[in-house]
């Protein structure tokens, strides 16, 4: 690859990411059209693409993005309002840009295909042609009038302005305003003070024990705002305290704001507190006011006032400071956006690193073994230290490949948006748990099955609005995507509030296809899971989206290839929930090593619930009925030795039970020895062993021998399915 190619590859990737961001932003604008940050990010995306396209001389892209950018700038300036039409046009424009980029990258000619050019022209006219709706700018220049009322003016240039409004109970709470003023005097000079009792009633109504006093003070001092506020600390509950810094200080604050570091975006309140223009108390107070105003205005659906506005209204800070802080905040955001702290690394390099770390884990285990074997006491400390390091290297290396699933999830917004339009359904997508992390390779492989399941939910699950209304449900259907961690696995749930599955219909089809026999004895859940079988669709009419009966079995196969599982649950008329359970990583796991006879096996530690000695009181085994009675809990079990055909020679061997758990199911594995925790580098087995039941992989132990990694899910199933053998000659209940 020459340099230009590399640059083009980077351009393509960057543009792809920007467009993906843009799509997210557009879809979120749908819900929150006034979010200026989102509009800014749209603008940035178009602007950046335009810039870098110009660099490569991709004129068509530059021309088109320029129009989009101009429009977005208008939106940003408030000259054009955003509505769903505009969002639709912008979405289309985004797709158009993607096509343009593809064209420019692949076809080495400047001429655009007629179709693309036509779309471009149409979009440009749509972008410009919308009705210009000027947004009225509120002229909210609140005059600094507080100190002009009653009594002389106070110069605000060099003095702190302190306003104290004592509450009526102050005297009764033992607070005497005079003592605070006397204390204040020790910090500086009270240049001017206005004492007022404006709200004091006359005659009988006046309670002399209630406090009606208000003070406005011009105060000269070198003290910080915080120090001054602390004077009134004891009165905080009984007094409205507002401290406005002197205008002369503004310069100082502005300089400090300017010097604030730009490595992270912070909240406006925090920024102002840091430079000393506000105190924590001010911010807290303003935030309370903000929440209160939101609560009182929920009916109108009004947006909360910006914090800065509230702070100025409360006279605790001047407008220029807020402006500057906002500007600074914006600058920081842009700076961060422009120099995103990521390094692009070739995925194969990362894969190589993970492999090496795997080898490192194995050889460090080997070293430990030698150190132990030869009793090298001086070496054992070092070995332990290295072991800890290897562990953290392993974790960090694996984390490198971890990505949040949120990006994958938000891609489905578009799918839902488009498909619901196509099907004439009103469907919203709710996403939660987007910050859940899992291995990148898993994320990539899960995308197709997820798409399929979501399309299914949209097509089969959610009914048409009329049907929904008739069923007493809101017209808008909901599809929910959720992800969370559960014992070393990630669980991804796709839930819809649609019609749910019809178990009879499924059964009927399954019988017709010969999947089950008449006397099936299947539970409801098992029937639902039949839809993962090949060739079964309950949809009478196949659509372009789904209904052909292929797909669900592919979904299941794909997920199982990732050592995962998929489960379906449904309530007829209420909706369907599909849960996908996937291992977090495909490379290295914490294992638990057990042994039968001379063989060693690894159970993924995350699936081990507990280990217990067979001889223990709370554990009884019933070999005829084939169950373990564990503290009154009935567990199916499996003798690993029997299962893998290497029975113990020594019958006196004391056996142990390892209780393993997978999702909702559990079982006991009976083993001879417990070896404890072991870091396990998963080595895939060759194709020859693909059909092997109960084994998912192998690992190399420190001493060079091989241990097999157990497929817990499969073994639990085997334990459940196990038919008791004819063991009539053995005692019915054996206490081992």
Q: Please report, as ranges, the residues that interact with other proteins according to CB under 8 A.
A: 170-172, 176-178, 181-182, 185, 190, 192-195, 197, 200, 202-203, 206, 208-209, 211-213, 215
> Other C-beta atoms within 10 Å of 155: how many?
14
Minimal distance, residue 166 CB to other proteins, in Å: 8
Residues sharing a CB contact under 8 Å with residue 307, sequence separation 6 or more, in sequence order = 268, 269, 283, 286, 287, 290
Residue 122 structure tokens:
């149409």
DSSP state of 734: B
Pick the closer one to other proteins by CB: 201 or 676. Answer: 201
Minimal distance, residue 221 CB to other proteins, in Å: 16
Strand partners, 707: 699
Which of 9, 27, 141, 1 shows the shortest CA–CA distance to 409?
27
Minimal distance, residue 146 CB to other proteins, in Å: 17
Pick the closer one to other proteins by CB: 182 or 525. Answer: 182
* Secondary structure of residue 40 in the 3-state scheme: helix
Residue 113 structure tokens:
């295909």
> Other C-beta atoms within 10 Å of 206: how many?
12
Q: How far is the C-alpha of 393 from the C-alpha of 226, rounded, in Å?
A: 45
Residues sharing a CB contact under 8 Å with residue 694, sequence separation 6 or more, in sequence order = 643, 644, 710, 711, 714, 715, 718
Pick the closer one to other proteins by CB: 170 or 324. Answer: 170
Pick the closer one to other proteins by CB: 238 or 459. Answer: 238
Pick the closer one to other proteins by CB: 193 or 403. Answer: 193
How many contiguous H segments (helices) and E segments (strands) does the chain have? Answer: 22, 23
Residues sharing a CB contact under 8 Å with residue 236, sequence separation 6 or more, in sequence order = 281
Minimal distance, residue 193 CB to other proteins, in Å: 4
Pick the closer one to other proteins by CB: 218 or 671. Answer: 218
Pick the closer one to other proteins by CB: 172 or 421. Answer: 172
Residue 719 structure tokens:
């334990």
Pick the closer one to other proteins by CB: 169 or 226. Answer: 169
Q: How far is the C-alpha of 179 from the C-alpha of 401, rounded, in Å?
A: 63
* Secondary structure of residue 189 in the 3-state scheme: strand
Contact call for residues 242 and 281 (beta carbons, < 8 A) = no
Residue 212 structure tokens:
């009606």
Which of 729, 482, 488, 663 shows the shortest CA–CA distance to 588?
488
Minimal distance, residue 235 CB to other proteins, in Å: 11
Contact call for residues 69 and 43 (beta carbons, < 8 A) = yes
Minimal distance, residue 285 CB to other proteins, in Å: 23
Q: How far is the C-alpha of 405 from the C-alpha of 120, rounded, in Å?
A: 34
Residue 434 main-chain phi, psi, to 5 deg: -60, -20
Pick the closer one to other proteins by CB: 168 or 363. Answer: 168
Which of 512, 403, 420, 506 shows the shortest CA–CA distance to 459?
420
Pick the closer one to other proteins by CB: 116 or 200. Answer: 200
Minimal distance, residue 179 CB to other proteins, in Å: 8
Q: Which residue, chain included where needed, has tokens 């870098």?
A: 52
Minimal distance, residue 178 CB to other proteins, in Å: 5
Pick the closer one to other proteins by CB: 209 or 444. Answer: 209
Q: How far is the C-alpha of 607 from the C-alpha of 593, rounded, in Å?
A: 12
Minimal distance, residue 229 CB to other proteins, in Å: 20
Q: How far is the C-alpha of 546 from the C-alpha of 548, rounded, in Å?
A: 6
Pick the closer one to other proteins by CB: 134 or 197. Answer: 197
Helix 84-106 with 36-56: angle, nearest 10 deg? 20
Residue 453 main-chain phi, psi, to 5 deg: -65, -40
Minimal distance, residue 162 CB to other proteins, in Å: 14
Pick the closer one to other proteins by CB: 190 or 490. Answer: 190
Minimal distance, residue 185 CB to other proteins, in Å: 8
Report which secondary-structure segment, H or E, holds 315.
none
Contact call for residues 663 and 566 (beta carbons, < 8 A) = no
Minimal distance, residue 210 CB to other proteins, in Å: 9
């Amino acid at each position: 690859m020459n340099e230009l190619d590399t640059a083009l590859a980077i351009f393509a990737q960057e543009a792809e990411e920007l467009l993906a961001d843009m799509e997210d932003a557009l879809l979120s604008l749908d819900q929150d059209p006034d979010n200026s940050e989102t509009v800014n990010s749209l603008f940035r995306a178009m602007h950046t693409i335009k810039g870098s396209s110009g660099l490569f001389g991709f004129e068509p892209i530059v021309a088109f993005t320029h129009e989009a950018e101009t429009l977005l700038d208008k939106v940003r300036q408030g000259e054009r309002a955003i509505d769903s039409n505009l969002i639709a046009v912008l979405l289309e424009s985004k797709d158009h840009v993607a096509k343009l980029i593809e064209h420019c990258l692949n076809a080495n000619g400047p001429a655009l295909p007629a179709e693309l050019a036509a779309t471009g022209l149409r979009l440009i006219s749509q972008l410009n042609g919308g009705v210009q709706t000027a947004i009225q700018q509120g002229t909210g220049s609140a005059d600094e009038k507080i100190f002009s009322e009653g009594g002389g003016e106070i110069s605000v240039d060099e003095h702190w302005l302190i306003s104290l409004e004592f509450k009526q109970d102050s005297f009764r709470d033992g607070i005497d305003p005079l003592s605070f003023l006397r204390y204040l005097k020790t910090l500086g000079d009270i240049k001017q003070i206005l004492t007022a009792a404006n709200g004091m009633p006359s005659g009988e109504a006046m309670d002399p024990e209630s406090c009606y006093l208000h003070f406005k003070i011009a105060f000269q001092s070198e003290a910080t705002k915080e120090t001054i506020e602390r004077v009134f600390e004891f009165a905080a509950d009984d007094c409205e305290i507002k401290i406005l810094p002197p205008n002369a200080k503004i310069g100082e604050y502005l300089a400090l704001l300017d010097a604030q570091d730009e490595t992270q975006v912070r909240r406006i309140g925090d920024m102002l507190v840091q430079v000393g223009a506000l105190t924590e108390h001010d911010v807290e107070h303003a935030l309370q006011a903000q929440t209160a105003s939101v609560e009182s205005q929920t009916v109108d659906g009004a947006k909360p006032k910006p914090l800065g506005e509230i702070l100025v209204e409360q006279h605790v800070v001047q407008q220029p400071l807020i402006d500057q802080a906002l500007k600074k905040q914006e600058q920081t955001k842009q700076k961060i956006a422009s120099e995103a702290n990521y390094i692009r690394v070739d995925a194969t390099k990362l894969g190589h690193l993970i492999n090496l770390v795997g080898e490192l884990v194995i050889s460090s285990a080997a070293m430990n073994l030698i150190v132990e074997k030869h009793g090298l006491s001086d070496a054992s400390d070092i070995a332990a230290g290295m072991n800890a390091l290897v562990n953290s290297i392993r974790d960090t290396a694996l984390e490198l490949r971890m990505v949040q699933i949120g990006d994958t999830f938000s891609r489905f917004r578009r799918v839902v948006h488009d498909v619901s339009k196509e099907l004439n359904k009103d469907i919203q997508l709710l996403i939660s748990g987007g910050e859940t992390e899992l291995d990148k390779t898993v994320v990539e492989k899960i995308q197709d099955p997820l798409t399929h399941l979501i399309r299914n939910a949209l097509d089969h699950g959610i009914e048409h609005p009329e049907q929904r209304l008739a069923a007493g449900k809101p017209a808008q259907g909901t599809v929910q995507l959720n992800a969370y961690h559960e014992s070393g696995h990630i669980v991804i749930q796709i839930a819809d509030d649609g019609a749910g599955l019809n178990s009879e219909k499924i059964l009927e089809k399954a019988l017709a296809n010969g999947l089950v026999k008449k006397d099936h004895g299947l539970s409801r859940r098992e029937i639902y899971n039949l839809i993962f079988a090949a060739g079964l669709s309950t949809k009478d009419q196949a659509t372009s989206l789904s209904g052909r009966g292929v797909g669900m079995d592919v979904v299941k196969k794909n997920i199982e290839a990732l050592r995962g599982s998929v489960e379906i649950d449904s309530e007829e008329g209420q909706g369907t929930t599909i849960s996908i359970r996937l291992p977090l990583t495909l490379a290295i796991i914490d294992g638990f090593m057990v042994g039968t006879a001379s063989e060693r096996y690894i159970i993924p530690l995350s699936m081990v619930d507990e280990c217990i000695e067979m001889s223990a009181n709370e554990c009884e085994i019933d070999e005829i009925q084939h169950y373990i009675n564990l503290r009154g809990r009935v567990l199916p079990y499996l003798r690993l030795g029997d299962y893998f055909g290497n029975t113990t020679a020594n019958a006196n061997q004391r056996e142990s039970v390892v209780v393993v758990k997978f999702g909702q199911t559990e079982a006991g594995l009976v083993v001879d020895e417990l070896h404890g925790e072991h870091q396990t580098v998963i080595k895939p087995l060759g194709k020859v062993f693909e059909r092997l039941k109960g084994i998912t992989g192998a690992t190399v132990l420190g001493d060079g021998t091989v241990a097999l990694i157990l497929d817990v899910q499969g073994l639990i199933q085997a334990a459940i399915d196990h038919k008791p053998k004819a063991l009539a000659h053995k005692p019915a209940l054996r206490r081992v």
